[in-house]
A and B are shown apart, each in its own frame.
Chain A
């Protein structure tokens, strides 16, 4: 039953059904899935660090216009009003919906920004081989936050709102919406390009020495 520690590197355990499988050899760009429950085991990606660096930096820069510039506006009978993402939160705070304001802030600003920052820092550090213990904390938090970013849901919310408003009054679209769409694309690409398996292996090697 007791196996030497070295052989543990040649097996992989499925996180969904707990099956023990021998580690398949795959090429960059391929995926390995569990034969029992078809969950993703791991995958190897092409140029993971360079791509993540570029995409996460672009995302971080886009954050400012996406939050601060007005997204959509309405005008009717001579009055005009437009709102940015931050305005949504401020208005909720002003009308005493503190919990809702906190939820919106957390899922559309706080978590995505930490998520992108963590991805950028990890990509830079691994690419230039400056791996330290603090990187572990960053990558762990990256994993925890992965399922809690809701930029895509907020975008669908904007689309639904546009659909609702078009009926009521004249609609204007601001620069904020454009930046937000680009930000959404960047943050999605980060999870596509960042190779978890690669980063953990690199970190393990670097921290062992």
Chain B
């Protein structure tokens, strides 16, 4: 069996990566003085809570308009998907693809990815543990990039401000979208990837005990 720090009674400081012998459930790192435990405490419940919060925010973020565009005093509100549709109409495919991926596919994929990870931290699965680790890495990496839409609206609202002629204002949806991105980032942060490997290590044991039980029954 692969050597695992938890099984050896060792812990690795999440901040400075010093390897320490764990004397208590939670202890202070002798090098950087940060208190930590072998696994993030209540990691799964925290991740679950933040993911649910993000999922709740995803609905108003897509239903409410992101920004209102005034031309000659005429307001025109557009949601994320409507905005993308406009780009496609004008034939601006590269921007349409960037925005579609950054503000629709990625947030949804992150939330689904987090649910998959939480499911696999509980039980072993078809995906190899290395693939799960990569999935976590992707979810973590994508975190800040979803903020793109919030920044675009902030810049557009400040720059396109030509009075009556044309101006852009932020709209309700942007608040929910921003909060959703922050919540998914917090969810990824509170998830402890090592739980995936713990679940993997437990799997062969339970299989063995079950096969032993079956053998006992057959006898």
Complex contact A99–B19 (CB within 8 A): no
Interface size (B, Cβ < 8 Å)?
69
Complex contact B150–A103 (CB within 8 A): yes
Complex contact B150–A168 (CB within 8 A): no
Complex contact A79–B162 (CB within 8 A): yes
Complex contact A17–B10 (CB within 8 A): no
CB contact under 8 A between A81 and B161, given known A89-B154, A147-B189, A161-B152? yes
Complex contact B155–A92 (CB within 8 A): no
Query: What 4 A-B pairs have minimum CB-CB distances, sorted nearest first?
Result: A157-B151, A83-B158, A13-B12, A88-B158
Asked whether any CB of chain B lies closer than 8 Å to the CB of A91, the reply is yes
Which residues from chain B sit less than 8 Å from chain A, CB to CB? 2-6, 8-12, 14-21, 31-34, 90, 92, 94-95, 98-99, 129-130, 133, 136-137, 140, 143-145, 147-148, 150-163, 165-166, 169-170, 174-175, 178-179, 182, 185, 189, 193-194, 196-198
- CB closest residue in chain A, given B172: A97
Complex contact A19–B4 (CB within 8 A): yes
- Ordered by A's residue number, 30 sampled pairs between the chains whose C-beta atoms are within 8 Å are A9-B19, A11-B19, A12-B19, A15-B17, A16-B136, A16-B137, A17-B194, A18-B4, A36-B130, A38-B130, A39-B137, A73-B159, A77-B162, A87-B158, A88-B158, A92-B158, A95-B157, A139-B16, A139-B32, A140-B34, A143-B16, A148-B185, A157-B154, A165-B159, A168-B160, A168-B166, A200-B17, A200-B18, A203-B31, A204-B31
Q: How far apart sit A170 and B2, CA to CA, in the bound complex (Å)?
A: 62
CB contact under 8 A between A200 and B31, given known A18-B4, A76-B165, A163-B95? yes
Whole-angstrom distance between the Cβ of B39 and the nearest chain A Cβ? 9
Q: How far apart sit A90 and B5, CA to CA, in the bound complex (Å)?
A: 50
- Chain B residues near A140 (CB-CB < 8 A): 15, 32-34
- Chain A residues near B143 (CB-CB < 8 A): 147
Asked whether any CB of chain B lies closer than 8 Å to the CB of A154, the reply is yes
Q: How far apart sit A163 and B143, CA to CA, in the bound complex (Å)?
A: 23
- Chain B residues near A165 (CB-CB < 8 A): 156, 159-160
